[in-house]
Amino acid sequence: MNKKPLTLYRHLNKLRWVSLIIVFSMLILLPFLHMYQTFVAAHGYDLLSNADKDIYNVMATLTSPFTENPAKGLDVIKGNTWSGTFFGLQLSDPLSVVSQIAAGLTIYWPFVLTALIPVLLTLIFGRFFCGWICPATFLYELNTNLAAWAHRAGLPVGNRHFDRRLKYLILLVGLILSAITGSVLVAAIYPPAIVGRELYYGIALGGFGAGSIFFVITLLFDLLVARRGFCRYLCPGGALYSLLGHFRLVRIQRLVKTCNDCAMCNAVCEFGLDPLHDNFGQECNNCTACIAICPTDALTFEIKITDQPNQGPGHLGHLYKREQGKNSSTKQEAIK
Amino acid sequence: MKRRHFLQTLIASASALAINPAQAFTGQRLLSQRYLRPPGALAEADFVARCIHCGQCGEVCPNRCIRYFGLENGTASLDTPYIIPRDQACILCMKCGDICPTDAITPVPELMQPILDKVHMGHAVVDRSLCLSWQGQSCGVCYRACPLADVAIRVGWMEQPHVLDKCVGCGLCERACIQMPQAIRIIPDYG
């Protein structure tokens, strides 16, 4: 009896997009909520410009079911994916903790503990942050779609390959630079931190800062040099998550009996991994795009701490049948 | 930040990097810009090492006085919070310390004694040649703007301001001063 993946797994990719959109829209909403709070605190509705009055009215309508006193009540959700406060629970990116330790050369435990939940989740689900939460991923994946359209329109798009281990080097160099300068410089080259911050600068402080230029450069790099190149080859956070997720429990695995070697999984994988040859590695972010596209339901989640070794060609594919044919013919010769 | 300001910043920081990269990277202050750190912030070097640039202090500030550095103050203080009191001063609500995940801004209760003990943003200094009261026209605006009136500042004859030792440097007096340029200003205390 062949194992079959749960039907739910095929729909996780849509759920992932819902999650990305929720995170991204929260990052856009929060600066507006902050502006609304300051307007309330200033008691100056009559003095606001018309645009600010519109913001005030919209936010008042949105938040009125949840809080009586917006100036205080809306303080429960603040921050971004780099570090945020969620109903009294402070959550931080593991990279922010690691880079802060590097910058300060001391361990400040109350802050280290804020990364506990993300680290535990990463130990279980691997690099899931990159696929499911990261606000930069949202823009990078849209950018990939843009690249696909550009490619269809005949424009040149980049698809070069580099060494995936480059990002570990960048993580190391970033931490060393942080230690030398005594400042958390990694935050300046880490797209999710940049996106969260720059959205806040752009909306609430009236203009984007220096990080936005860096982010646009990474978008262009992805478009013109390497598909999803920043996440694959350069991102220091991705490197840290990959290391933490090396022995992750929840893995996507190939079911060799139902695989037909169509290689759609390899084509769709944003991180350029090789599901077809059971080569997921620590980089897989459990985005489930390969599960969603597999025509024969040959990919599923399994609970184990290492990948299977290469299982050979899928049993529904030509290659396997040819080998089987060869094997049976050699057997017949042996019998003769 | 206006676009022009941003471009200026970019060019300034690029040239600063080109002229003296070591200085730019070691976090020495490049400009003579007078800025304050949020109330309860650690001493400058510790603060820069502790702050993770998450931006929550600005997002929680009800007075919108907390802004963020670009590259104009050196690479080390990129995206760290600062306050220019003449533009918008701190009202000592102490929310930023409560939300700071790394306690780069230490949490201080919103009470007078803890604020006097733990907040060292700077110290107000009066320029008597600019001050209206000292020039014979009774004013007293700085005294009335001060959240710690009679503790941090007191007024004498003709409402001439005298800043006391306990001033924490919130900058509300500088913000309120009706003289242009301001006759009272905060000399920052970077620790």
- State the Cα–Cα distance between residues B3 and A333, nearest whole angstrom: 80
Domain boundary among B45, B69, B99: B99
Angle at A230 between CA A228 and CA A232, to 5 degrees: 65
- Same-domain pairing of B88 and B173: no
B17 in a domain, yes or no? yes
- Same-domain pairing of B127 and B81: no
CB contact under 8 A, B2 and A71: no
* Token pair of A200 as six digits: 């806040």
Better-scored residue on pLDDT, A232 or B24: A232
- Residue A76, classed as helix, strand or coil, is helix
- Residue A21, classed as helix, strand or coil, is helix
> Letter for the amino acid at B31?
L
Q: Most B CBs within 10 Å: which of A184, A198, A214, as the mutation test of the B interface?
A: A184
- State the Cα–Cα distance between residues B186 and B181, nearest whole angstrom: 13
B110 in a domain, yes or no? no
Contacts of A42 (CB under 8 A, 6+ apart): B62
- Same-domain pairing of B133 and B94: no
- Same-domain pairing of B80 and B149: no
For position B130, which CATH number holds? 3.30.70.20
pLDDT at B8: 56
Contacts of B167 (CB under 8 A, 6+ apart): B123, B124, B148, B152, B153
Angle at B7 between CA B6 and CA B13, to 5 degrees: 90
- Same-domain pairing of B34 and B86: yes
State the burial class of residue A336 (Cβ atoms within 10 Å of its Cβ: 0-12, 13-18, 19+). exposed
- Same-domain pairing of B73 and B152: no
CB contact under 8 A, A208 and B58: no
Q: How far apart are the first and last CA of chain A?
A: 33
B112 in a domain, yes or no? no
- Residue A132, classed as helix, strand or coil, is helix
Q: How far is CA A69 from CA A74, A161, B38, in A?
A: 8, 53, 25
Nearest by CB to B101, from A31, A90, A188: name it.
Answer: A90
Q: How confident is the model at residue A128 (pLDDT cuts 50, 70, 90)?
A: very high
Interface residue ranges in chain B relative to chain A, Cβ cutoff 8 Å? 1-3, 5-6, 9-10, 13, 25-27, 45-46, 48-56, 58-64, 67-68, 70-71, 75-80, 95, 99, 101-103
Range with the poorest average pLDDT among A22-26, A299-303, A318-322: A318-322
CB contact under 8 A, A188 and B45: no
- Same-domain pairing of B69 and B133: no
**A47: DSSP letter:** G
CA A21 to centroid of chain Cα atoms:
12
- State the Cα–Cα distance between residues A300 and A12, nearest whole angstrom: 11
Place of tokens 């570090």: A83
pLDDT at B14: 57
Task: Please give the average per-residue pLDDT across A241-261, as a whole number.
Answer: 90
* Token pair of A59 as six digits: 């936010």
Nearest by CB to B67, from A37, A100, A205: name it.
Answer: A205
Q: How confident is the model at residue A321 (pLDDT cuts 50, 70, 90)?
A: confident
- Same-domain pairing of B92 and B11: yes
**A279: DSSP letter:** B
Indicate the pTM of the whole model. 0.88
Q: Which residues of A touch B62 (CB under 8 A)?
A: 37-38, 41-42, 71
B115 in a domain, yes or no? no
Domain boundary among B99, B132, B149: B99
- Same-domain pairing of B33 and B90: yes
- State the Cα–Cα distance between residues B178 and B160, nearest whole angstrom: 14
CA distance A168 to chain B (A): 21
pLDDT reading at B17 higher than 90? no
B95 in a domain, yes or no? yes
Nearest CA in chain A to B10: A210
CB contact under 8 A, B54 and A99: no
Q: Which DSSP string do the residues of A143-207 spell out, in sequence order?
A: HHHHHHHHHHTT---------TTHHHHHHHHHHHHHHHHTS-GGGGG-HHHHHHHHHHHHHHSSS
Q: Which residues of A touch B46 (CB under 8 A)?
A: 104
CB contact under 8 A, A182 and B95: no
B85 in a domain, yes or no? yes
- State the Cα–Cα distance between residues B151 and B111, nearest whole angstrom: 13
Task: Please give the average per-residue pLDDT across A52-75, as a whole number.
Answer: 91
Q: Most B CBs within 10 Å: which of A97, A183, A198, as the mutation test of the B interface?
A: A183
* Token pair of B35 as six digits: 């800025």
B105 in a domain, yes or no? no
CB contact under 8 A, A75 and B52: no
Contacts of B39 (CB under 8 A, 6+ apart): B90, B92, B94, B96, B97, B105, B108, B115, B119, B121, B168, B170
* Mutual angle of helices A116-125 and A236-244, in 10-degree steps: 70
Better-scored residue on pLDDT, A232 or B74: A232
- Same-domain pairing of B26 and B92: yes
- Same-domain pairing of B93 and B36: yes
- Same-domain pairing of B132 and B90: no
- Residue A299 phi/psi, 5-degree rounding, is -120, 140
Q: Which DSSP string do the residues of chain B spell out, in sequence order?
A: --HHHHHHHHHHHHHHHHH-HHHHHTT---S----BPPTTBPPHHHHHHH-----HHHHH-TT---EE--STT-GGGTT-EEB-TTTS------HHHHH-TT-SB----SSHHHHHHH--SEEEEE-TTT-TTTTTS---HHHHH-TTBTTTEEE-GGG-EEE-TT-----HHHHH--SSS-SEEEEE---
* Size of the A and B interface in Cβ pairs below 8 Å: 145
Looking at the 3D structure of chain B, how many domains does it have?
Answer: 2
Structure confidence by residue, pLDDT tens digits, A91-112: 999 999 999 999 999 999 999 9
Nearest by CB to A207, from B2, B53, B71: name it.
Answer: B2
Q: Which residues of B touch A83 (CB under 8 A)?
A: 52, 54, 56, 101
| Residue-number span of the structural domain to which B141 is assigned | 120-188
Q: How confident is the model at residue B27 (pLDDT cuts 50, 70, 90)?
A: very low
Task: Please give the average per-residue pLDDT across A50-78, as a whole number.
Answer: 91
Sheet of A77-79: strands edge to edge?
A: A77-79, A83-86, A89-92
B140 in a domain, yes or no? yes
Task: Please give the average per-residue pLDDT across A135-142, as a whole number.
Answer: 94
CB contact under 8 A, A207 and B70: no
Nearest by CB to B64, from A38, A71, A78: name it.
Answer: A38
